[in-house]
Structure 1
Amino acid sequence: METDASLAVLAALAHSTRLDAFRLLVRHEPDGLSTGQLVEASGLTQSTFSTHLAVLVKAGLVLPEKRGRQQIQRANIDALKGLMLFLAKDCCQGRAELCEPLVAELTCC
């Protein structure tokens, strides 16, 4: 992931409603959730939540998928992985021992 794409993803996640929605979708992978379920979980109106959802989709964090009459939203795990790698890749500067605690925490749970 390049710097501009990373900034777009970080900006999209820099709002509590969008961050909560994305984290909820990650927990519901690979099935995703309907837009209605996300709206209900957010406690917002449909129109207000749709604005937030559009930001997540534009940033590539959420992948909308039509299933029958429902619009299902799924977390783009590849985008999450790309962001995490972008943030962590240069932190070690060739010294793997600096990132080992992070990797251990991610793999333990």
Structure 2
Amino acid sequence: MIEAEAAILFGALANADRLKVIRTLVEAGPDGMNAGEIAQRIGASPSRASFHLAALAEAKLVIKERRSRSLIYRVNFPRVGGLVSFLLEDCCNGSPSLKKCCNL
């Protein structure tokens, strides 16, 4: 991941409700959950939750899938993991003995 891409992803996450959405979907795991459940869990109106879900989907941090009449949202774990890895890739100046601090 390059810095410009990481900056875009951090921009998409730069909101407390969006962080709540991501954390809620991480907790839900690969099955995800529908927008109504997400709104309820984060304490937002359905329209507000949909606004945040759209921004996260545009950044490809969440994946949306239609199941019957519902839209199910899941975390894009490889994308979120890539962002975390980007932050830690140069941890401790590459020293294997010091990387223990980050559990790498």
Task: Using structure 1 for the length normalisation, give the TM-score.
Answer: 0.87
The one-letter code sitting in structure 1 at the alignment partner of 2:28 is H
The one-letter code sitting in structure 1 at the alignment partner of 2:13 is L
Gap runs ≥5 in structure 1:
105-109
Aligned CA RMSD, in angstroms, stands at 1.3
Distance 1:24 1:96 in 2: 33
Deviation string 1:12-53 (CA, Å, 9 cap, x unpaired) is: 111110001101101111100111101111222222221111
**CA drift at 1:94:** 1.9
Distance 1:5 1:78 in 2: 14
Instruction: Kindly tell me the number of residue pairs found equivalent between the two proteins.
Output: 104
Within 5 A, what are the aligned runs for 1:66-77? 66-77=66-77
Distance 1:99 1:24 in 2: 29
Gap runs ≥5 in structure 2:
none
Counterpart residue number, 1:83: 83
Extract structure 1 runs of 4+ deviating beyond 3 A: none
Distance 1:98 1:55 in 2: 37
Helix, strand or coil at the partner of 1:44:
coil
Counterpart residue number, 1:107: none
Distance 2:45 2:81 in 1: 30
Task: Using structure 2 for the length normalisation, give the TM-score.
Answer: 0.91
